[in-house]
Structure 1
Amino acid sequence: MIEFHLLGGMAVTVDGAVIDVGPARQRCVLAALAVDAGRVVSVDRLIGRVWAQDAPPHARATLMSYLSRLRGVLGDAVVVRRTGGYALQVDRSVVDLHRFHDLCARARAADDRQAVALWRQALGLWRGEALTGVDGEWAAGERDRLDQERWEAECDLADALLRLGHGEDLVADLTARAGRRPLDERVAGQYVLALHRAGRTADALAHYRRVRQRLVEELGAEPGAALRELHRRVLDADPALGASAATAVVPRQLPAPPGPFTGRVAELARLDEARTAGTVLISAIGGAGGIGKTWLALAWAHRHADEFPDGQLFVDLRGFSPDGRPVPPEAALSGFLTALGTAPDRVPAALEDRSALFRSLVADRRVLVVLDNAATADQVVPLLPGNPACAALVTGRTRLASLIDRHGARHLNLDVLSPDEARALLAARLGDRRVAAEPDAADELIALCGRYPLALSITARQAHTRPAVPLAELAAELRDLGLEALDHDTGLPAVLSWSLRDLTGEQRTAFALLGIAPGPDIGLPAATALTGRSPTWTRAVLRVLEDVSLVERRPGNRYAMHDLVRAYAATLAPPEPQRRAALERVVDFYLHTALAADRLLDPHASPIRPDPPAPGVHPHPLPDQAAALAWLDAEHAHLLAAQHTAAAGHRHRVVWQLARALIDFHQRTGRFHDELVVWRAALDAAEHLPDPATRIRAHRNLGSAHARLGRHEEATTHLHRSLDLAERHHATTDQAATHYDLALAWGARGDDRRALDHARRAVELYRQVDRPVWEAVALNATGWYAARLGDHDTAREHCRAALALNREHHHPDGEADTLDSLGWIDHRTGRHREAVGHYHRALDLYRTLGNTYMAANTLDGLGHPHLALGEHDLAREAWREALALYREQGRDDDAERVRRQLDDLDRRPATDPGGRGARPRA
Structure 2
Amino acid sequence: MEFQVLGSVTVRAGGQVFAVGEPRQQHVLAVLLLEAGRTVGLDTLVSRVWGESPPKQARRSLQAHITRIRRVLEQAEPGSSWLARDAGGYRLDISPDQVDVFRFRNALRDGATDREALTAALDLWRGEPLAGLPGEWAERVRRTLGQEHEAAVVAWAVAEIRAGQAAATIIPLTELVEEHPLHEGAAAVLMRALYAVARTADALAVHERTRRALRDELGVDPGPELAAVHEAVLRHDLPPGEQGPPAVPAQLPAAVAEFTGRADETAELDRLAARAGDEPVIACLTGTAGAGKTATVVQWGHRMRDRFPDGQLYLDLRGYAPEKPVSPDDALGAFLTALLPVGAEVPLGATERAARFRTALDGRRMLVVLDNAASVEQVRMLLPGTGGCAVVVTSRDALPGLVALHGAHRVTVDQLPVADAVTLLRRLIGRRVDAEPGAAAELAERCVRLPLTLRLAAELAVSRPAVPLSRLAAELGAAQRTLDVLSSGEDQRAAIRAVFSWSLRQLSDQATDAFAALGRHPVPTFDVHGLAALAGQPLETAQVLLNTLVRAHLVHPAGVDRYLMHDLLKAYARETGSIDESAALDRVYAYYLATIAAAMDRLYPGEAHRRPAVPAVASPVPGFDGTDGARDWLDAELAMMPGLSAHAAAHGRPETSVTLSRLLFRYLDGRNETVAISIHDQAHAAAHTTGDRAGEATALHALGGVHLQAGRADAAVAHLRAASALFKEIGDLSSQGRAVAAVGMVEERAGHYRPAIDHYSRALALFRHDTDLVAQAHVLTRLGTTEARIGHAAAVTNLDHAMALHRQAGHPFGQAWAKLGLAEIAITRDHLSDALALHTEAVELFRTVGHRGSEAWGIDGLGRTHTLRGHPDRAAEHHRRALDLFVAHGDRDGETWALNGLGEACRADGAPASARAHHTAALDLADRTGAQEQAARAHHGLARAAADTGDLRTARRHYDRATTLYRDLTLPAADVIEKELADLR
Residues 370 and 650 (structure 1 numbering): CA distance in 2 closer, same or farther, change over 3 Å?
Answer: same
Residue 842 of structure 1 and its aligned partner are, at CA, apart by 1.5
Residues 526 and 867 (structure 1 numbering): CA distance in 2 closer, same or farther, change over 3 Å?
Answer: same
Cross-structure match for 2:40? none
Cross-structure match for 1:426? 267
Matched, 1:402 2:198: yes
Among 247, 250, 254, which residue is 1:411 paired with?
A: 247
Distance 1:719 1:452 in 2: 46
Residue 700 of structure 1 and its aligned partner are, at CA, apart by 2.6
- Counterparts of 1:762-777 in structure 2 under 5 Å? 762-777=763-778
Q: Is the 8 A contact 2:710 2:891 kept in 1?
A: no
Cross-structure match for 2:299? 454
Q: Which 5+ residue runs of structure 2 have no aligned equivalent?
A: 1-10, 21-67, 83-93, 128-148, 178-184, 187-194, 204-241, 254-261, 272-282, 304-412, 424-441, 460-495, 935-985
Residue 594 of structure 1 and its aligned partner are, at CA, apart by 0.4
Cross-structure match for 2:942? none
Residue 592 of structure 1 and its aligned partner are, at CA, apart by 0.7
- Partner letter of residue 535 of structure 1? L
Residues 805 and 305 (structure 1 numbering): CA distance in 2 closer, same or farther, change over 3 Å?
Answer: closer
Distance 1:467 1:725 in 2: 63
Cross-structure match for 2:527? 523
Partner secondary structure for residue 573 of structure 2: coil
Residue 377 of structure 1 and its aligned partner are, at CA, apart by 10
Distance 1:188 1:445 in 2: 59
Distance 1:510 1:730 in 2: 47
Q: What do residues 452-510 of structure 1 show as CA deviations (whole Å, max 9, x unaligned)? A: 141799989955945999xxx999999984743579999xxxx9997985454565664
Distance 2:644 2:451 in 1: 27
Among 484, 491, 497, which residue is 2:453 paired with?
A: 484
Distance 2:452 2:119 in 1: 38
Cross-structure match for 2:547? 543
Residues 847 and 428 (structure 1 numbering): CA distance in 2 closer, same or farther, change over 3 Å?
Answer: closer
Residues 732 and 510 (structure 1 numbering): CA distance in 2 closer, same or farther, change over 3 Å?
Answer: same
Residues 205 and 416 (structure 1 numbering): CA distance in 2 closer, same or farther, change over 3 Å?
Answer: same
- Partner letter of residue 188 of structure 1? G
- Partner letter of residue 622 of structure 1? F
Distance 1:758 1:602 in 2: 25
Residues 670 and 207 (structure 1 numbering): CA distance in 2 closer, same or farther, change over 3 Å?
Answer: farther
Distance 2:717 2:706 in 1: 11
Residue 548 of structure 1 and its aligned partner are, at CA, apart by 5.7
Distance 1:500 1:462 in 2: 21
Distance 1:488 1:188 in 2: 57
- Partner letter of residue 205 of structure 1? E
Distance 1:531 1:379 in 2: 48
Distance 2:861 2:710 in 1: 21
Distance 2:169 2:557 in 1: 24
Residue 532 of structure 1 and its aligned partner are, at CA, apart by 3.2
CA RMSD of aligned residues (A): 5.9
Residues 887 and 379 (structure 1 numbering): CA distance in 2 closer, same or farther, change over 3 Å?
Answer: farther
Among 611, 630, 633, which residue is 1:631 paired with?
A: 633
Matched, 1:832 2:826: no
Q: What do residues 335-374 of structure 1 show as CA deviations (whole Å, max 9, x unaligned)? A: xx9xxxxxxxxxxxxxxxxxxxxx99x9899999999xx9
Distance 1:457 1:476 in 2: 30
Residue 797 of structure 1 and its aligned partner are, at CA, apart by 2.6
Q: What do residues 300-340 of structure 1 show as CA deviations (whole Å, max 9, x unaligned)? A: x8x9996675599xxxxxxxxxxxxxxxxxxxxxxxx9xxx
Cross-structure match for 2:606? 604
Residues 621 and 385 (structure 1 numbering): CA distance in 2 closer, same or farther, change over 3 Å?
Answer: same
- Counterparts of 1:806-845 in structure 2 under 5 Å? 806-845=806-845
Distance 1:277 1:514 in 2: 57
Q: What do residues 198-243 of structure 1 show as CA deviations (whole Å, max 9, x unaligned)? A: x997453249999xxxxxxxxxxx9999x966999xxxxxxxxxxx
Q: What do residues 772-791 of structure 1 show as CA deviations (whole Å, max 9, x unaligned)? A: 33222222222223234x23
Residue 832 of structure 1 and its aligned partner are, at CA, apart by 3.2
Residues 741 and 896 (structure 1 numbering): CA distance in 2 closer, same or farther, change over 3 Å?
Answer: closer
- Counterparts of 1:850-869 in structure 2 under 5 Å? 850-869=850-869
Matched, 1:739 2:583: no
Matched, 1:700 2:676: no
Distance 2:284 2:884 in 1: 53
- Partner letter of residue 890 of structure 1? G
Q: Which 5+ residue runs of structure 1 have no aligned equivalent?
A: 1-184, 211-221, 233-271, 282-300, 313-336, 338-358, 391-398, 431-439, 917-922
Cross-structure match for 1:559? 562
Q: What do residues 233-273 of structure 1 show as CA deviations (whole Å, max 9, x unaligned)? A: xxxxxxxxxxxxxxxxxxxxxxxxxxxxxxxxxxxxxxx99
- Counterparts of 1:422-821 in structure 2 under 5 Å? 425-426=266-267, 449=293, 452-454=297-299, 463=417, 465-466=419-420, 481=450, 483-484=452-453, 501-502=502-503, 504-505=506-507, 507=511, 510=514, 517-518=521-522, 521-547=525-551, 553=557, 556=560, 558-561=561-564, 566-575=566-575, 578-605=580-607, 606=609, 608=611, 612=615, 616-667=618-669, 669-689=670-690, 692-788=693-789, 790-821=790-821
TM-score of the aligned structures, taking structure 2 as reference length: 0.48
Cross-structure match for 2:208? none
Residue 865 of structure 1 and its aligned partner are, at CA, apart by 2.2
Distance 2:501 2:768 in 1: 64
Residue 761 of structure 1 and its aligned partner are, at CA, apart by 1.9
- Partner letter of residue 796 of structure 2? R
Distance 1:533 1:231 in 2: 74
Residue 384 of structure 1 and its aligned partner are, at CA, apart by 8.8
Residues 537 and 193 (structure 1 numbering): CA distance in 2 closer, same or farther, change over 3 Å?
Answer: farther
Sequence identity percentage: 22
Residue 822 of structure 1 and its aligned partner are, at CA, apart by 1.9
Distance 1:510 1:223 in 2: 75
Distance 2:99 2:446 in 1: 58
- Partner letter of residue 636 of structure 2? A
Q: Is the 8 A contact 1:783 1:798 kept in 2?
A: yes
Q: Is the 8 A contact 2:820 2:842 kept in 1?
A: yes
Q: Which moved more, 1:740-749 or 1:593-602?
A: 740-749
Residues 540 and 810 (structure 1 numbering): CA distance in 2 closer, same or farther, change over 3 Å?
Answer: closer
Q: Is the 8 A contact 1:856 1:886 kept in 2?
A: yes
Partner secondary structure for residue 572 of structure 2: coil
TM-score of the aligned structures, taking structure 1 as reference length: 0.51
Distance 1:803 1:737 in 2: 18
Q: Is the 8 A contact 1:307 1:366 kept in 2?
A: no
Q: What do residues 538-566 of structure 1 show as CA deviations (whole Å, max 9, x unaligned)? A: 3234334444666554775x1344xxx63
Q: Is the 8 A contact 2:777 2:801 kept in 1?
A: yes
Cross-structure match for 2:223? none
- Partner letter of residue 198 of structure 2? S
Q: Is the 8 A contact 1:500 1:508 kept in 2?
A: no
Distance 2:154 2:720 in 1: 64
Q: What do residues 351-409 of structure 1 show as CA deviations (whole Å, max 9, x unaligned)? A: xxxxxxxx99x9899999999xx9x999996699967999xxxxxxxx98427997848
Partner secondary structure for residue 562 of structure 2: strand
Residue 864 of structure 1 and its aligned partner are, at CA, apart by 1.5
- Partner letter of residue 15 of structure 2? G
Q: Report how many aligned residue pairs link the two structures.
A: 575
